[in-house]
Amino acid sequence: MYDRILVPTDGSSGTAKTLDHAAHIAADNDATLHVLSVVDRRVYLAADDDTKDDVAASLEQQGQRALDDAVERLADSDLDVVSDLREGIPHKEIIDYAADAEIDLITMGTHGRTGRDRLASLGSVTERVVEGAELPVLVVDIEDEQ
């Protein structure tokens, strides 16, 4: 049913739980697991001109570290793993990557906020992907991972 599964990562602690879910689904379907990290260009474009390049380099290092950590976590899984680092607006890049790589399922984490906390976090990357993707998105509650 699933041949290609995408797990976007920012390197946060909840990524492990999301990766575990995606890895089980990939193993059950003999699917390739794609791991993507997106450098949010809005962050470094908002920086002072004097620090813009340093901020961009730091964000790129964080993204690469997130990918390396995810790939390392999956090393013993016998799964085919593809990793990629992109730059742009995270939810748009995730959706574009999914289309480019013909992804069948996106697996992402959420903090499971409700009420006032949810209102404060509206517009999260996960929520925007769920709203904008034209394929299934599995949302994993990572609240207990913090």
Domain 4-145 has CATH 3.40.630.150: no
For the segment 56-104, what is each residue's pLDDT rounded down to a tens digit?
999 999 999 999 999 999 999 999 999 999 999 999 999 999 999 999 9
The rounded distance, in Å, linking the Cα atoms of 131 and 146 is: 25
| pLDDT above 70 coverage of the chain, percent | 88
Short-list 94, 79, 76, CA closest to 23 = 79
Residue-level pLDDT at 118: 45
| Structural domain spans, the chain | 4-145
Summary mean pLDDT of the chain: 89
